[in-house]
Amino acid sequence: MSAFVVYLFLQNQSPEEEQKAKASATLVNTQIVSPSSLVRQVTSLGTALANESVQIVTNNSDYLTGLHINEGQRVEKGQLIAQLNDVEERARVAELSASLLDQKRQLNRVKNLAKTQATAQSLLDEQQTRVNITQAQLDAVKARLNEMTIRAPFSGVLGLRQVSEGAYLTSGTVLTTLDDLNLIRLEFSIAEYYLAQLKPGMTVNSSSVAYPGKVFTGQIKAIDTRLDPVTRSVKVHALVPNDQLELRPGMLLNVSVTLDELQALQISEKAIVPLQNKHYVFVVNKDNSVTQTEVQLGQRMPGLVEIVSGLNAGDEVVIEGTTKIRSGSLITKVGQ
């Protein structure tokens, strides 16, 4: 009889306790932890450089007789850019060519004489020396003559001209610049932490404030063999196609390098509760209580954070209302 009374008492109390529990439970939003696609990236600031870039200068001093610089226009490799006065060099080439031709004829006569007279061997050696000296002089003058004609060393775009036709130029005078802009060499630095993950051929995305919303994609071409001992970073060069010539040398670009693509656990960053040097989340139990659990964080994305350890796929965590609860608190879920 007494056992029956106790049973009725417990039955009568449980609804009240349940109501009290519900009244004391905290309203929260939760999220089910599940794996999703994650792109590991590292970001940096980079500078655009021309793939090939030179200053067009003179190697000799003389008057500028011809200037073929269309500023901002494309030229092909070998195309004429400037011409210096070369009258003296042409005359000298003609003189030495004639002299060389005469000396070669004399050399042939001495060779025929040496076949019958042994004493002619010394004359043969002397004449051969004269031919060699004249040939060397002719080669030197021809080289100087070629330097009076300035041609594009590679295909590219000409910059602003720095001289005028008819001016007397000294050796080393800058005429203009030449840049190969079809490919941009993007230079940026990456922290030492990511060095082992960097490889030539990786995809590089870049953007500029000059072209909002546009992404310029390229690939890593080279990684420096040395790190900066001050910043502990490594310099990286990437090649970015620039067919429309939108990018210019000297531009500042925002750079992101795709290191890896994988499936990883990600949750809302609002679920993270930082405490000193550690990070925690509130995991929902089957009885709607929560347990504060330490987690290790990985890469952060806008609004999301990767969970390296501490959670499993299928776990449920609190993402809103974390400031109102503690480990062991009862919750009422109002959304997921």
pLDDT tens sequence across 175-188: 999 999 999 999 99
pLDDT of residue 218: 95
Domain final residue, candidates 244, 260, 276: 260
Residues 47 and 187 grouped into a single domain: yes
> Average pLDDT for residues 180-203, to the nearest whole number?
92
Q: What is the mean pLDDT of residues 256-271?
A: 86
Same domain flag for 250 and 295: no
Q: Is residue 75 part of a domain?
A: no
Residues 6+ apart with CB under 8 A from 42: 190, 191, 194, 256, 257, 259
Position 328 in a domain: yes
What's the domain range around 113?
A: 89-147
Q: In what order do the strands lie in the sheet with 168-169?
A: 149-151, 80-84, 62-67, 168-169
Q: Give the model's pLDDT for residue 9.
A: 38
pLDDT at 276 over 90: no
Q: Are 184 and 239 in contact (CB under 8 A)?
A: yes
Q: What average pLDDT does this structure show over 204-232? A: 94
Give me the chain's average pLDDT, please.
Answer: 86
Q: Which helix (H) or strand (E) holds 205?
A: strand 203-207
Confidence bin at 10 (pLDDT 50/70/90): very low
The answer to whether residues 142 and 200 belong to one domain is: no
**Mean pLDDT to the nearest integer, 70-75:** 87
Q: How confident is the model at residue 204 (pLDDT cuts 50, 70, 90)?
A: very high
Q: Is residue 128 part of a domain?
A: yes
The pLDDT of 178-200, averaged and rounded, is 92
- Mark which of 121, 147, 173 sits at the end of a domain: 147
- Regarding whether 240 and 223 lie in a shared domain, the answer is yes
Both 207 and 276 in a single domain?
no
What is residue 106's DSSP assignment?
H
Residue-level pLDDT at 94: 93
Per the structure, how many domains does the chain have?
3
- pLDDT band for position 83 (cuts 50, 70, 90): very high
Task: Indicate whether 226 and 270 sit together in one domain.
Answer: no
Q: Does one domain contain both 256 and 269?
A: no
Would 242 be classed as within a structural domain?
Answer: yes
Residue 177 lies in a domain: no
Q: Do 193 and 229 reside in the same domain of the chain?
A: yes
**Do 277 and 250 have their domain in common?**
no
Q: What is the pLDDT of residue 116?
A: 67
pLDDT at 4: 41
**Residue that is last in its domain, among 147, 163, 190:** 147
**285 token code pair:** 């139990």
Angle (nearest 5°) at CA 71 between 65 and 75: 80
174 in helix, strand or coil?
strand
Mean of pLDDT values over 120-130: 80
Written as six digits, the tokens of 79 are 């195309």
CB 142 within 8 A of CB 95: no
| pTM score of the predicted model | 0.61
Q: Which CATH number covers residue 293?
A: 2.40.420.20
**Domain holding 239: CATH number?**
2.40.30.170
- Does 18 reside within a domain? no
35 within domain boundaries: yes
106 lies in a domain? yes
Report whether pLDDT(120) > 80.
Answer: no
Q: State whether 192 and 250 are in the same domain.
A: yes
Same domain as 30, residue 96 = no
